[in-house]
Every structure is written in structure tokens, then in C-alpha cells.
Structure 1
Amino acid sequence: MSIKKKLAMGIATGALAVSMIGGGTYAYFSDTETSTNTFKAGTLDLALNPTEIINVDNIKPGDWMNRSFTLKNDGSLDIAKVLLDTDYVVTDANGDNVEDFGQHIRVNFMWNPDKNASGIWLDNVIYNTTLAELKGMTPDAVANKIFIPYFEERGGLKAGDSDTLGVQFEFVENNADQNEFQGDSLQLTWKFEAKQGKGVAK
């Protein structure tokens, strides 16, 4: 056999051996598992009943009005705060107003008995505050400043829970001439904004 043939056969044999070795590296056991994962966001859904808390006419200085309303958490997430934003529009019937009618309508109290079973006025949502003053405030309607275990709920509104609040309005008699408000009307808008709590480990 010639040297060329021997050399060619050697190269072919070597290539076959390498291909067999290479092919062998792909022969192994295997097992596969697939992980399917889901992230679903919860919901904040605050319900107010009734949506019109007060509608009264023919009032005079010294009159007061008691009303109640319910805040309910219809969402899947707990609510940490329900902030109350106040706005109003005054219609001046005679065009003679010098003062703001909102300075003469006062919220004597807004009380959440679920969060303030003791009735301590310091723990009221609102105490002795005019509508004009409330425009610059955002009180928390479901807060509990003085928590008394076994008698009160902690602050916030858990999913599916509800709080019924009582409120008293008064057209304040200031022992002065208030004739400028005769025939006037005030349209009050209260916006309740639910806020989530802090994130937690899940």
C-alpha cells in the first residue's frame, strides 16, 4: 500500500473516531419542568351611600341638621385611609354678599362610631369646623387616633367592611346681621378618596 493511501486511510479513521466521540457527548438523560406564574392586581372600590348626604332648604341662623352615611369597601384590597376633600359653590340670590356663606355653615362633628366608640371629641373625623375651613383640610374619615382594644376598630377599612358615620351641620347664629344670606344657596361637594396601605410580603 502506498504512503498516500496509508495516509488517507489514517486521516479517515481519525475523523471517524472524532465524529463518534463528538456524537457521544450528546447522549445524556434529561428532564424538563415548566413554571407558569401569575400576577393579578387587587382592586380599590369605595362605595358611598347615600351619595347625597344632605339636601335641605328654608334654613335660618341657628338651625342644625343631623345626617348619616355609609362608607363601604367593595374592593379586594384593604383601604388604609379615606381622605375627605371639601369644595362648594355659593349662589348669591341678591348680589349683596360681603362674606362667604361657607364661613357660616359649620360641621359641628363628623363621628365614626366604629373607630371612636368612646365618643371622645378629639377622635372625631371633624369637630367644630366651618365649610370654609374644611376647604383647606383633608381629614381621614376612617382614622382612629385613640385606639381602644375590644371596643374600637383600628384605622382603615378592610375589604368587605363598612363604617356608618354621623354628621351634624349648623347654620351658625353669630348674633350679628346675617341678612345678606337670605335666599342664598350653597352647593357642597364632598369627595371621598380611598388610599391603599403600604406594600407587604406576599
Structure 2
Amino acid sequence: MSIKKKLGLGLASAVLGISLIGGGTYAYFSDTEVTNNTFAAGTLDLSVNPTEIINVDNIKPGDTMVRTFELINDGTLDISKVLLDTDYTVNDANSNNSEDFGKHIQVSFLSNMDKLDEVIFETSLADLKTMSPEAVAEEINPVIFEDGGLEADTLDDLSVKFEFVDNGQDQNEFQGDSLELKWTFTAEQTEGEER
């Protein structure tokens, strides 16, 4: 091995040795803390009691039926509003029906829990079916939820009057017909806030 290589290897070994000695004697203070953090999402849990709001047979034009049910917030978050989506199917007993049975069923959302006589909003089932859930909420939520929503672990009553409207004309085409109503209630949370 040449002298240059020997000197180069010796110099490299010396630098490595000095750096190991310097690194081993270098000391500093340190302290470590660990935090444990949690993000837990709340729950929206709307239920309706009873789940079957109305079930009547043998109705005739002019009949009215008032039903009261509870909207219950079983969740941990407040509900700001409840949307209502309406759907129904008509089972025609007669194939000659020219009218939608839903156009003859009037729906009135009521307040004044004592007398059940103050109408908040009124429309036919057919029109209610074509309305967006948001539009229905705008009509009924302000009165149902007087305090601006439904707080967690509380409930509010909702009363509805259904009427088979007697239009003073021949309504024989509806004899034997039935209508299956499906209401879908959807809860929306309150706005986010700084926590």
C-alpha cells in the first residue's frame, strides 16, 4: 500500500475516532410529555312513537281523523329541524279511476295541543307528496319546535288531522280504494360551534 493511501486511511480513522469521542461526551437536558386526546362524534337519533300513525278502514267522504304522535330525540346532539318526505301508493279497487285518491285526502298539521283546532299548515296528500322535505319543514318546524329545535333527550308532540274531503260531487270511483302512506322524518343537526 502506498504511503498516500496509508496517510489517507490514518487521517480518516483519526477523524472518525474524534467524532465518536465528541459524540459520546456531548450531553443535554430533555423532557417528554405525552397527551392522550379524544374526538368523539355525537349522535342524531330521531324516533317516532307510535311508528304507525294512522290505520283506518271504511272511511267515507267527510270523515276526519286526528292523530297525535311524538318526535323523540334519543341522540346526544340537538336537532335543528325535522324534514318530512311524503310518499304513498293507491290501490285502486276500480280500474276506471280518473282521480288520484291522495288529492281527496286533506292533511292539516295542528298546534294548540288542548283543543287541536289551530291549523299550522294544510294541504292535500297529493300536494304534500310533490313538496320537497325542506319546504314542508319551513311550514311546520317553527311552530312545532317553538324553541328552535329539539334538544337531546327530549320530545315534542305533533298532531295531524286527516280528512277524506267531501267535494259535493260523485266520488263513487273511490269505493273500495286504499292508500298506503309512508312518511319519512329526517333530523338535521344544529350548526357547528367553537368548542
Deviations 1:46-84 (Å, cap 9, x if unpaired)? 110000101111111111111100000001111111100
Report the CA distance shift for 1:43/1:142 in structure 2 as closer, same or farther (over 3 A).
farther
Alignment of 1:7-86 (within 5 A): 19-25=20-26, 27-86=27-86
Paired AA for residue 38 in structure 1: T
Runs (5+) with no aligned partner, structure 2: 1-10
The CA deviation at 1:96 is 1.5
The CA distance in 2 between the partners of 1:180 and 1:58, in whole Å, is 14
Contact 2:96–2:173 under 8 Å retained in 1: yes
The amino acid across from 1:24 in the alignment is T
Distance 1:64 1:16 in 2: 100
**1:158 partner amino acid:** E
Distance 2:51 2:122 in 1: 23
Superposed CA deviations along residues 130-160 of structure 1, whole A, max 9, x for unmatched, are 00000122222872169xxxxx832211100
Q: What residue is the counterpart of 2:125 in the other structure?
A: 131
Partners of 1:62 and 1:170 within 8 A in 2? yes
* Structure richer in helix, relative to its length: 2
Take 2:74 and 2:156, find their aligned partners in 1: how far apart are those partners? Answer: 12
Contact 2:142–2:148 (Cα < 8 Å) also in 1: yes
Q: 1:37 Cα deviation (Å)?
A: 1.0
**Equivalent-residue separation in structure 1 for 2:153 and 2:15 (angstroms):** 77
TM-score, scaled relative to structure 2: 0.81
- Note if contact 2:109-2:140 (Cα within 8 Å) is conserved in structure 1: no
Q: Whole-Å Cα distance in 1 between the matches of residues 126 and 50 of structure 2?
A: 23
Give the 3-state SS of the residue equivalent to 1:22 in structure 2.
Answer: helix
Candidates 141, 144, 154, aligned match of 2:142: 144
Separation in 1, partners of 2:86, 2:77 = 25
Q: Structure 1 regions of 5+ residues with no counterpart?
A: 1-10, 147-151
- Cα 1:70–1:35 change in 2 (3 A) is same
Kindly indicate whether residue 93 of structure 2 is the aligned counterpart of residue 100 of structure 1.
Answer: no
The CA RMSD measured in Å over matched residues stands at: 2.6
Distance change (3 Å), C-alpha of 1:188 and 1:14: closer
CA distance in 2, matches of 1:158, 1:69: 17
Q: TM-score, normalized by length of structure 1?
A: 0.78
Distance of aligned partners of 1:179 and 1:24 in 2 relative to their CA distance in 1, 3 Å threshold: same
Contact 2:79–2:188 (CA under 8 A) maintained in structure 1: yes
